[in-house]
Amino acid sequence: MDNRDLTATHRTRHVARVKEKAGCIATGRSQSAFRLVTYVNAFQQSTRVFNGFLIHSRGANAAGLRAEQLNRDPDPIVAGAHLRDDNGGPVLDLQAEGDMVTLRSHTTRQPDNPRYRRWEIAGAAHAESPQWVPGITPVPDMAPGLKCASPIHSAPHHAVVKAALHALSRWVRDGVAPRSSAPIELGDPAAPDPIIRDGFGIAKGGIRLPQVEAPTARIDGLRNDVSPGAPGGQNFCFLFGRTEPFDTATLAKAYPTHKSFVRKFTAAVDEIVRLGYWLEPEAQLARAAAAAAPVGK
């Protein structure tokens, strides 16, 4: 056995030890999140297959045990399903503003416990076509042929997802629980839009993306519609949220100089990293994009 073989053997053993220590994490987003809620509540307590869970963009209900796809069982599944806390593994519950509006996941809030934390992202939609500085360039479509009535959501929801996976891995591996985010502020929970918004129409509370702390567009998770005359297959526009770029006068009033925009945006980036809701690689990309943006020039 030469040195390369020894190195490969050492690497394999190291990876095995890391996996053994970190355990196995289950993740589910959207339809998979509905099902993962049911798995956590109905099966994990007895099977103990997983060591931790990231439940991402769930709705108000869990999936049925007998139903096909997401159709309801003969007896309706009550909205507002909570997650049990005796399943042997921590749960990080990650929800976008759009999940709370269109999928009504605000009804599933529950208090922290030793095995549960919840993050809520203000300004984020269920899905997006991300830009670090929204609205400065045209927002690309989510997919070829997609024709929604308004430009779809464009803030980087994915940056929080990466930080959530990092935080959950650390929780499972080292027992260090992440903080819960501040909740998104709610008004009438039964209203079509239950969220309290600022003068720009941006949600209050929650995880404060730099794109909502130093906004260049109204970004929200409100229902988008299918563009009139669009061909079939546009049924998911309602999940894609909206981006409404600020006009020149609004931008000039908010940021009289380029330096004022960069300073405010960068401070928001530094804060979201400090709180653990972004990681440094995404922060570096965002800072560079702000520095290159024409805002205030």
pLDDT-wise least confident of 77-81, 162-166, 232-236, 280-284: 232-236
Q: What is the pLDDT of residues 89-101, one digit of tens each?
A: 899 999 999 999 9
Burial label for 297, CB within 10 Å (0-12, 13-18, 19+), is: exposed
- Mean pLDDT, residues 219-234 taken together: 78
- DSSP, collapsed to helix, strand or coil, labels residue 66 as coil
| Residues 282, 222: Cα–Cα separation, whole Å | 25
Q: What is the pLDDT of residues 143-189, one digit of tens each?
A: 666 788 888 899 999 999 999 999 999 999 999 999 999 999 999 99
| Residues 89, 55: Cα–Cα separation, whole Å | 13
Q: What is the pLDDT of residues 263-292, one digit of tens each?
A: 999 999 999 999 999 999 999 999 999 999
Q: For residue 117, give both structure tokens.
A: 């934390």
Residue 56, pLDDT score = 94
Contact call for residues 143 and 231 (beta carbons, < 8 A)? no
Percent of the chain with pLDDT over 70: 85
- Mean pLDDT, residues 36-50 taken together: 85
| Residues 64, 72: Cα–Cα separation, whole Å | 6
User: Rg of the chain over CA atoms, in angstroms?
Assistant: 21
Stronger pLDDT, 284 or 236, i.e. the higher one = 284
Residue 9, pLDDT score = 39
Residue 68, pLDDT score = 60
Please give the backbone phi and psi of residue 84, each rounded to the nearest 5 degrees, phi first.
-70, 155
**Among candidates 80, 279, 111, 122, which has minimal Cα distance to 215?**
122
Tell me which range, 78-82, 224-228, 282-286, is most confidently predicted by mean pLDDT. 282-286
pLDDT over threshold 60, residue 11: no
**Among candidates 47, 111, 57, which has minimal Cα distance to 85?**
111
pLDDT over threshold 60, residue 4: no
Residue 12: how many CB atoms within 10 A of its CB? Answer: 10
Burial label for 181, CB within 10 Å (0-12, 13-18, 19+), is: buried
Domain range summary for the chain, segments of one domain joined by +: 3-292
Say which residue the tokens 């196995």 belong to: 24
- DSSP, collapsed to helix, strand or coil, labels residue 266 as helix
Contact call for residues 131 and 284 (beta carbons, < 8 A)? no
From the centroid of its chain, how far is CA 166? Answer: 14
Contact call for residues 100 and 59 (beta carbons, < 8 A)? no
Residue 143, pLDDT score = 63
Average confidence score pLDDT of the chain: 85
pLDDT-wise least confident of 47-56, 74-83, 180-189: 74-83
Single-letter residue type at 290: A
pLDDT over threshold 80, residue 247: yes
| Residues 85, 188: Cα–Cα separation, whole Å | 28
pLDDT over threshold 80, residue 21: no
Stronger pLDDT, 212 or 49, i.e. the higher one = 212
10 confidence band (pLDDT: 50, 70, 90): very low
